[in-house]
Amino acid sequence: MPTTNTEHVSTIPPKDSLGTEIIIALMGVTGKIQSLLEPCIRWLRRATGSGKSYFVREVSGNSEVEVSGDLYSCTSKVKSYSFEYGGARITLVDTPGFNDTNRSDMEVLKEITDWTSESYRKERLLSGIIYLHPITHTRLEGSALKNLRMFRNLCGQKVLGNVFLTTTQWSNVNLREAELRENRLRSQDFWGGLIGKGATLQRFHGTRESGLELIHKLMSNIPKPLDIQDQIVKQNMTLLETSAGKCINEELIAQEKRHKEEVESLEKERQEAINAKDDEMNKILAEEQAKVQKKLEKAAAEKKLLAELHAAEVRKREEEERKRQEEMARREKSVIAVATEDISVIAHIHTFLGGYLTRGRWIFDINNHEEFESNTFAVEIQYHVKILSGVEIPVKTLRELSGEGMGKSNYIFVGEVRYVCKSRTPIKRGGRHFVIFRKG
């Protein structure tokens, strides 16, 4: 059952969320400018967004959040707004929706993908996704279906336990009627599939308290990556290769085919009108044909752009792969040098196995002194100690270790590859001493 938001709202966040950042994304149906005349005729303007920005503004209390209707601007960029909620930092992420009038689906997908992949790279995962749908919508078609389709493809299935399918704008409709619509949304055709796989039906009543109630429920979730994040960052896919990109491309192909057929059919009708010397009908059909032709060109141009973006991304990926291979080949022949001075005091050894963190640098040519000035990277020198368990031996520095048994018992792992310290004696470069680890 969806929440009624009438119970007392706890303002105490779950204990384990204290001091942490909880990131929640708002997604869903977007606003739409109804006609070209509309920007000029204020009273004709009808804000049709689901209330993503409204939710963010009400709940975060940040008056800078732009809600459609104020300046009649729909959200076009992903933006996040943070606020404190009982010791935790809540970040609400406002996103643009998919809509065929204002911006192309590809632009919107790119915007969402850029933000989500960047945050995934920074290990900032979403604890929840609130998918909004206005209960005022009488029909479940067009924009509502497209947004839902894109949402499914962006999220995937693993994350659905963290998804709230939330209806908004309850104050704008008759309750009985709204409840009937809510039941329709719950049907298999619309939200049923998502609910069956873990998503939850909720209501947002337009107040901060109602929004906080939803947030409170999401706070103890384990943050998970969306499919789009996994596909872009982990699987290194191009936008077109992702489920969401494929979905847009398939839609563009279908659109292009449909419009082409329409243009052809209109042309046939127009020829008939010309033969019948029906100028009036010829004019009407020509105007209609020009409109469909424009839509056809728009779909074709968008499809082309997506293909070009894909080609550019493939080139970039190939270039990165080539560099990676080169780097690997270079490493194959390289050794790791660790400056003895980089090792400070090491704790007592309690066990047979141990390790300590320091910095190493890749050296391709051991006789090239300049290479010893190159950038360092974190390494862990691991070692075997031939002592009885429980006996404490104070070890201080690598310099001392090299005296006391630095050698084949000390090694570094880089991925699966083991680098061993084959010589006890450090070498001197630029006034510093380095211990060399070689593959083996």
Ligand X SMILES: Nc1nc2c(ncn2[C@@H]2O[C@H](COP(=O)(O)OP(=O)(O)OP(=O)(O)O)[C@@H](O)[C@H]2O)c(=O)[nH]1
Footprint on this chain of ligand X (rule: CB under 6 A):
30-31, 47, 49-54, 67-69, 74-75, 96-97, 168-169, 171-172, 204, 206
Among 3, 75, 113, 229, binds Mg ion (CB under 5 A): 75
**Cα torsion angle, 374, 380, 386, 392, sign:** positive
Residue 173 tokens read as: 């409709």
Least distance (Å) from ligand X to the CB of residue 259?
25
Residue 369 identity (one-letter amino acid): H
Residue nearest to ligand X (CB): 49
Least distance (Å) from ligand X to the CB of residue 4?
15
* Nearest CA among 22, 39, 242 for reference residue 128: 22
For residue 209, what is the enclosing H or E element? helix 208-218
3-state helix, strand, coil in the chain (%, to 5): 45, 20, 35
Least distance (Å) from ligand X to the CB of residue 430?
58
- How far CA 38 is from CA of 23, 24, 66, 82, 277, in Å, comes to 36, 33, 19, 34, 37
* CA distance linking residue 175 with residue 312, whole number of Å: 51
Cβ contacts of 421 within 8 Å, gap of 6 or more: 381, 406, 407, 408, 410, 411, 435, 436, 437
Least distance (Å) from ligand X to the CB of residue 31?
3
By CB under 5 A, is residue 143 in contact with Mg ion?
Answer: no
Least distance (Å) from ligand X to the CB of residue 204?
6
CB 422 within 8 A of CB 408: yes
Strands, DSSP E only, in 294-376? 335-339, 353-363
* CA distance linking residue 92 with residue 300, whole number of Å: 35
By CB under 5 A, is residue 210 in contact with Mg ion?
Answer: no
**Interacting span for Mg ion (CB under 5 A) from 68-76, 227-235, 262-270, 281-289:** 68-76
Q: Which is nearer to Mg ion, 169 or 221 (CB)?
A: 169
DSSP 207: S
Q: Which is nearer to ligand X, 46 or 316 (CB)?
A: 46
Q: Which is nearer to Mg ion, 52 or 361 (CB)?
A: 52
Q: Which is nearer to ligand X, 204 or 437 (CB)?
A: 204
Which listed option, ligand X, Mg ion, none, makes contact with residue 366 (CB within 5 to 8 Å by class)?
A: none
Least distance (Å) from Mg ion to the CB of residue 8?
30
Least distance (Å) from Mg ion to the CB of residue 297?
29
By CB under 5 A, is residue 147 in contact with Mg ion?
Answer: no
Q: Which is nearer to Mg ion, 75 or 282 (CB)?
A: 75
Cβ contacts of 79 within 8 Å, gap of 6 or more: 65, 93, 94
Encode 32-45: b = buried (16+ Cβ within 10 Å), e = exposed: bbeeeeeeeeeeeb
Q: Which is nearer to ligand X, 143 or 229 (CB)?
A: 143
DSSP 367: T
**Interacting span for Mg ion (CB under 5 A) from 15-23, 48-56, 395-403, 421-429:** 48-56
Which listed option, ligand X, Mg ion, none, makes contact with residue 168 (CB within 5 to 8 Å by class)?
A: ligand X
Q: Which is nearer to ligand X, 67 or 338 (CB)?
A: 67
Least distance (Å) from Mg ion to the CB of residue 237?
28
Q: Which is nearer to Mg ion, 20 or 76 (CB)?
A: 76
By CB under 5 A, is residue 60 in contact with Mg ion?
Answer: no
By CB under 5 A, is residue 53 in contact with Mg ion?
Answer: yes
Query: Other CB atoms closer than 10 Å to residue 330's CB: what's the count?
Result: 11
Q: Which residues of the shown chain bind Mg ion in the complex (CB under 5 A)?
A: 52-53, 75
